[in-house]
Copies of this chain bind each other. A is one copy, B any other.
Amino acid sequence: MGSKNFAVGCDMGATKIISCVVDSDGKVGYECRFPTEAARGTKKVGENLISAIKETLSNCKDKNISGIGIGTPGQINFETGEVLGSAPNIPGWTGVNVKELIASEFDYPCVVDNDVNAAIWGEFLYGAGKGCKDIVGITLGTGIGGAVIVDGKLYRGSKFCGGELGHISLKYDGIPCRCGGIGCFEEYCSSRGIKRMAISKLKSKKRSLLVSMVEGDLKKITSELVTQAYHKGDEIAKAVIRETGRLTGYALSIIINILNPEKIIIGGGIATIGDFLFNAIRDGAKERSLPVPYSQVSIVPAKLGVMAGAIGAGSLILKGAQ
């Protein structure tokens, strides 16, 4: 039993860093959470990451640790560990070399990858993607992340920037996105898209539980409140979620026509709304995909929950840094 391999896996989120020890069956041992404190600057973020890893290592001294895997927002040079760009949730993170940061503190091999790549790697090995070869992962939350596995390998693109599925443009003359593009999927179907759509719908029809939930101040609407109102049967909230699902399906139809995946796995906070959302997503995807590739794909919820990223990051060490 002493021969079992373990790794530390860290998932860096906008608000918290999840660190854990994971074994080669994907089982999580010790885990801890540290705040990211992105607003306090990248030095502090780095310190928090190191603290999380130290705490994890000090709690698994009896284990044979093979290395440290880290999933972080942004486009990551998987070979060097450098953050190449686009990590709006951690300002200043672009240009940081996470691998060097870890090497300066720890004497373990380290791999660094995009956080959604790490999460889908976890789902591929132990979750909703188990047994598949060609899958796409989407996270619906504050932002929309994406990752692609082709023939059992993470697809990183020619220079590590593939899979930016949140920035598929749904409408070339649509809403400007903070990435500089126009009409991006993320602007329509992330938390801020849901908020925007709810406010827009409420402007024309004021009778909704949502209005009383925010005491008439529509600016206070959040995607969480929309979800709560939906669960209480509110019609406007229901319409917002249906429309969000349908638009998500439209974005997936683009992915289906290009990549012809066997499975699309959807995680993130918004995905927890459940069947009503997933059915709307499937309807949208069916409506807009080419019939043959649509008939070959299943669109399913992620299985590993909030631990997917940390499990996947650790598993990049244990199960091939592919």
Contacts and interface: CB of A to CB of B under 8 A. Distances in A.
Interface of A: 75, 84-86, 133-134, 146, 148, 150, 155-165, 167-174, 179-183, 247, 250, 253-255, 257-262, 288-293, 296-297
Given A150-B155, A253-B169, A162 B259 contact: yes
Nearest to A77: B292
Given A86-B292, A150-B155, A291-B85, A260 B160 contact: yes
Contacts of A163: 258, 260
B258 A148 contact: yes
B161 A260 contact: yes
A126 B247 CA distance: 41
A182 B146 CA distance: 23
Contacts of A146: 258
A148 B262 CA distance: 17
A292 B77 CA distance: 11
A298 to B, nearest CB: 11
Number of copies: 2
Give the most central of A162, A179, A254, A260: most B CB within 10 Å: A254
A234 to B, nearest CB: 25
10 contacts: A146-B258, A157-B260, A158-B296, A159-B292, A164-B290, A165-B257, A167-B290, A168-B254, A168-B257, A172-B250
A159 B290 contact: no
Contacts of A250: 169, 172
